Amino acid sequence: MIDPTLIPEDVLAVCKRLGDAGHQAHLVGGGIRDLLLGRRPSDFDVATSALPDVVLSLFGSRYAIPTGLQHGTITVLAGDREHPRHVEVTGRAAGSLGEWRGLHAAVP
């Protein structure tokens, strides 16, 4: 079981913004693995039902960088403006059926 207090507020804020806009958001990848193993995560990834253009629109060009559009991935700059956390947000690629690979944990 993952202790939700170990998930940084800025990461949860990314998930909340997606959820408030009507999209699913799930923490995935190495950050979840590290939490399950009792380690401090070095990064967090989010899988979402939102299309990449929606993610770009929700976070704006100042905070959303299209780093892997061919895979549906946007890097969202979260938290402190001086030292932002890079959260990789991967949504449905245009034309996909919305199937996600590697989902690990829903956000509490």
Residue 92 has pLDDT above 70, yes or no: yes
Whether residue 8 is predicted with pLDDT greater than 80 in this model: the reply is yes
pLDDT at 107: 53
Residues 85/78, Cβ–Cβ less than 8 Å: yes
Give residue-wise pLDDT tens across range 17-55: 999 999 999 999 999 999 999 898 989 999 999 999 999
Q: 44-48 and 85-90: which strand pairing?
A: parallel
What structural domains does the chain harbor? Answer: 4-96 (3.30.460.10)
What is the Cα–Cα distance from 91 to 107, expressed in whole angstroms? 15
pLDDT > 90 fraction of the chain, expressed in percent and rounded:
69
- pTM of the full structure: 0.84
